């Protein structure tokens, strides 16, 4: 039987190379800036897939799932505790329940400036999935009431019409429709939406670059500008933003304007 | 004294030392493997890195910076304190380019210029919200003239008819869509973004390879009939009458997986000649689906892909 002390000493020379090996593997896993941090900031990503697969359609459109993957991957890299929902899990009730705790929100669905019969006026909104072919509208008004002024970080409304000048969706998340450039600061928040009718291929072309740039630590404004360099197949495609250009996109109430000091 | 030269390490048995060397070797292989840039044969999968970059230095970076210095001045990109140069593999876009990032005195990125490996400008953007302080451009014609001047200054000659689109406070978008053999290539061509006063915001130049044109082209009516049959299959009978074919146009398209999810996540690099059949919806169907574009191979009538308007 070997002496425990001797056995312990036999392992000592292993420690430096093993520590080095672990260090090398951690470094190889990616730059520190793009690795998810310990997250306490809830984010929700919803995507309407049922409208574009059986039973509502007999083909299975891959855009909704793929764009959900892009969003959840991007938000996780920014430090959000993100959960993705689609199908029967993405309902109006689910959106309004989760939004109370959301620091960030992403949705890919059918969007418009919908008539609200109760208020006899229009609000911006988008449709739930609900796992069936009858899909209720989630109005900006509904979200605004639930959030009640709660602070928001990043909001990406991947639908038609929700980047229009008259959209009421940013206000639902407490984001004013104003742009803070290099020497200004609207707080750690950013809203992204598309103007008019936007096809899925163009939205995906934009979002692939947007999320990729955010994951690489470029910040929300540069990510938007880089995404606008895409090869959009419809000449009418356009996107707009409101919030702070210089914000990093990282989760939480912090963040500063690095160029304001 | 380095730990690997420490007497206690040198006294290890051969088997232990060999094992340590194997572990270190594995680490080296792992790191070099992960750091290796992707190439065109590495297919893009959604959620993975769309682009991979390696930092260039020395003479290869100097050549690229040499080009950028002149272009920064011509585009009015402002004071640049330093630059980084990366060789970027765009896995989804099937291209590789050199990207110069201009940094200000505090190390903040202020502009990006991309060059093809042949040295041509592919894209540029002045980062930031800088609506400009000059007098606003009077109209679309003025925007086109400003865009032509900027494009030519960096060696890009617009081809065809320019179209200007006002973007409100975001300025102007001016585009020259590529046309090959009389047929549009959507997504290809030259597009400039200008601020309201005509100063430079962005430029992108795209030109994808085209497949050989088919010897004979099927008539538009056959493509529309094919799509009509697909709609009969795709859309439930009760809603079928709410989807109508609005027309067909001959264009070069990137085959994709819109109607065939088993195809690759990235649209194909090579554009194929297709009839793009537009479908618009009405009634209850329009509540979730505004329209479709279905691409039918202009040569053999097969389904190449399409697009969805939610």
Residues B110-153 have pLDDT tens digits of 999 999 999 999 999 999 998 878 999 999 999 999 999 999 99
Residue A181 falls inside a structural domain: yes
How high does pLDDT run on average in chain A? 89
Chain B interface test: which of A55, A84, A201 (most B C-beta within 10 Å): A201
In this predicted model, which residue has the larger pLDDT, A261 or B56? B56
Over residues B283-297, the pLDDT tens digits come to 999 988 999 999 999
Tokens of B232: 């009969």
Tokens of A169: 């969706």
Helix (H) / strand (E) element for A179: namely strand A179-180
> Which 3-state string (H, E, C) describes chain B?
CCHHHCHHHHCCCHHHHHHHHHHHHHHHHHHHHHHCCCCCCCCCCCCCCCEEEEECCHHHHHHHHHHHHHHHHHHCCCCCCEEEEEEEEECCCCEEEEEEEEECCCCCEEEEEEEECCCCEEEEEECCCCCCCCCCCCCHHHHHHHHHHHHHHCCCCCCCCCEEEECHHHCEEEEEEEEECCEEEEEEEEEEEECCCCCEEEEEEECCCECCCCCCCCCHHHHHHHHHHHHHHHCCHHHHCCEEEEEEEEEEECCCCCCCCCCCCCCCCCEEEEEEEEEEECHHHHHCCCEEEEEEECCCCCEEEEEEEC
Q: Using 50, 70 and 90 to split pLDDT, how confident is the model at A32?
A: very low
Residue A173 falls inside a structural domain: yes
pLDDT value at position B288? 87
Percent of chain B with pLDDT over 90: 81
Confirm if A157 and A169 have CB atoms less than 8 A apart.
yes
pTM for the full predicted model: 0.87
What residues of chain B, 113 to 152, have a C-beta less than 8 Å from chain A? Answer: 123, 125, 127-130
Residue A259 falls inside a structural domain: no
Dist CA A231 CA A223 (whole Å): 15
Dist CA A196 CA B198 (whole Å): 24
- Indicate the range of A245-259, B26-40, B68-82, B254-268 predicted with least confidence: B26-40
Q: Using 50, 70 and 90 to split pLDDT, how confident is the model at B2?
A: very low
The CATH number of the domain holding residue A45 is 3.40.50.12660
Over residues B166-225, the pLDDT tens digits come to 998 899 999 999 999 999 999 999 999 999 999 999 999 999 999 999 999 999 999 999
For A37, which DSSP code?
A: P
Residue A235 falls inside a structural domain: yes
Q: Using 50, 70 and 90 to split pLDDT, how confident is the model at A10?
A: low
| Distance in Å, alpha carbon of A212 to nearest chain B alpha carbon | 6
Dist CA B161 CA B178 (whole Å): 10
From residue B38, give the alpha-carbon distance in Å to each of B42, B43, B95, B101.
6, 9, 11, 21
- Indicate the range of B18-27, B219-228, B234-243 predicted with least confidence: B18-27
Cβ of residue B267 closer than 8 Å to a chain A Cβ? yes
Dist CA A156 CA A146 (whole Å): 18
The region, left, alpha or beta by phi > 0 then psi within -120 to 50, assigned to residue B265 is alpha
> What is the complex's ipTM, to 2 decimals?
0.87
Q: DSSP 3-state assignment of A77?
A: helix
Dist CA A184 CA A176 (whole Å): 14
Over residues A190-207, the pLDDT tens digits come to 999 999 999 999 999 999
Q: Using 50, 70 and 90 to split pLDDT, how confident is the model at A257?
A: confident
Chain B interface test: which of A8, A11, A13 (most B C-beta within 10 Å): A13
Map tokens 């892909």 to a residue.
B305
In this predicted model, which residue has the larger pLDDT, A261 or A166? A166
Q: DSSP 3-state assignment of A108?
A: strand
In this predicted model, which residue has the larger pLDDT, A233 or A8? A233
Residue A125 falls inside a structural domain: yes
Residue A170 falls inside a structural domain: yes
Split into its structural domains, chain A has a count of 1
Across A116-121, average pLDDT: 97
What residues of chain B, 52 to 91, have a C-beta less than 8 Å from chain A? Answer: none
List the single residue in B23, B30, B235 with the smallest CB-CB distance to A57.
B235
Query: Could you tell me which residues are beta bridge partners of residue B86?
Result: B55, B99
Query: Could you tell me which residues are beta bridge partners of residue A46?
Result: A85, A107
Cβ of residue B217 closer than 8 Å to a chain A Cβ? no
pLDDT value at position B211? 98
Q: Using 50, 70 and 90 to split pLDDT, how confident is the model at A2?
A: very low
Residue A249 falls inside a structural domain: no
Q: Using 50, 70 and 90 to split pLDDT, how confident is the model at A1?
A: very low
B112/A20 Cβ within 8 A? no
* Domain enclosing residue A55, as ranges: 36-244
List the single residue in B16, B49, B307 with the smallest CB-CB distance to A212.
B49
Smallest Cα–Cα separation from A131: which of A44, A45, A46, A43?
A46
- Chain B residues whose CB is inside 8 A of the A52 CB are 289, 308, 310
pLDDT at A30 exceeding the cut of 70: no
pLDDT value at position B4? 45
Residue A80 falls inside a structural domain: yes
What phi, psi does A236 have (nearest 5°)?
Answer: -80, -10
Smallest Cα–Cα separation from A82: which of A64, A92, A93, A69?
A69
Q: Chains A and B: how many Cβ contacts under 8 Å? A: 177
Q: Using 50, 70 and 90 to split pLDDT, how confident is the model at B7?
A: very low
């Amino acid at each position: 039987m070997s002496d425990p002390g001797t056995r312990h000493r036999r392992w000592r020379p292993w420690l430096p190379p093993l520590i080095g090996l672990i260090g090398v593997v951690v470094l190889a896993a990616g730059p520190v800036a793009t690795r998810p941090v310990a997250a306490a900031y809830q984010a929700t990503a919803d995507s309407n897939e049922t409208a574009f697969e059986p039973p509502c359609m007999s083909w299975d459109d891959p855009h909704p799932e793929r764009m959900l993957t892009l969003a959840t991957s991007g938000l996780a890299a920014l430090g959000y505790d993100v959960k993705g929902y689609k199908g029967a899990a993405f309902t109006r009730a689910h959106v309004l329940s989760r939004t109370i705790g959301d620091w960030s929100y992403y949705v890919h669905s059918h969007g418009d400036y919908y008539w609200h019969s109760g208020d006899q006026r229009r609000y911006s909104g988008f449709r739930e999935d609900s796992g069936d072919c009858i899909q209720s509208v989630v109005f900006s008004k509904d979200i605004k009431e639930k959030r009640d002024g709660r602070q928001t970080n990043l909001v990406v409304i991947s639908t038609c019409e929700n980047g229009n000048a008259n959209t009421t969706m940013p206000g639902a998340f407490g984001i004013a429709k104003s742009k803070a450039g290099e020497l200004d600061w609207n707080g750690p928040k950013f809203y992204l939406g598309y103007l008019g009718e936007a096809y899925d291929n163009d939205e995906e072309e934009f979002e692939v670059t947007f999320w990729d740039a955010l994951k690489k630590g470029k910040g929300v404004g540069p990510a938007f500008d880089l995404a606008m360099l895409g090869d959009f197949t419809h000449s009418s495609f356009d996107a707009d933003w409101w919030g702070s250009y210089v914000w990093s996109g990282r989760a939480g109430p912090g963040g500063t304007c690095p160029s304001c000091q | 004294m380095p730990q690997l030269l420490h007497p206690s390490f040198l006294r290890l048995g051969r088997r232990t030392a060999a094992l340590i060397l194997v572990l270190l070797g594995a680490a080296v292989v792992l790191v070099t493997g992960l750091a290796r840039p992707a190439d065109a044969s590495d297919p893009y999968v959604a959620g993975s890195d769309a682009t991979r970059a390696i930092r260039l230095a020395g003479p290869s970076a100097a050549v690229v910076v040499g080009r950028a210095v002149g272009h920064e001045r011509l585009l009015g990109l402002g004071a640049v304190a330093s630059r980084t140069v990366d060789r970027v593999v765009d896995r989804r876009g099937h291209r590789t380019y050199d990207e110069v990032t201009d940094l200000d005195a505090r190390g903040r990125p202020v502009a990006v210029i991309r060059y093809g490996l042949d040295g041509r400008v592919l894209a540029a953007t002045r980062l930031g919200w800088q609506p400009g302080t000059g007098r606003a451009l009077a109209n679309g014609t003025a925007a086109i003239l400003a865009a032509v001047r900027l494009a030519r200054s960096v060696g890009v000659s617009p081809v065809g008819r320019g179209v200007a689109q006002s973007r409100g406070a975001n300025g102007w978008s001016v585009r020259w869509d590529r046309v090959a053999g009389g047929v549009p290539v959507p997504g290809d061509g030259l597009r400039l973004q200008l601020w309201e006063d005509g100063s430079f915001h962005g430029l992108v130049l795209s030109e994808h390879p085209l497949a050989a044109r088919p010897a004979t082209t099927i008539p538009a009516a056959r493509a529309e009939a094919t799509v009509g049959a697909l709609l009969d299959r795709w859309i439930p009978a009760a809603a079928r009458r709410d989807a109508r074919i609005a027309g067909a146009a001959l264009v070069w398209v990137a085959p994709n997986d819109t109607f065939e999810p088993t195809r690759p996540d990235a649209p194909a690099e090579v554009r194929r000649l297709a009839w793009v059949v537009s479908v618009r919806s009405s009634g209850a169907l329009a509540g979730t689906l505004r329209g479709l574009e279905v691409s039918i191979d202009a040569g053999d009538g097969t389904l190449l892909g399409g697009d969805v308007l939610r």
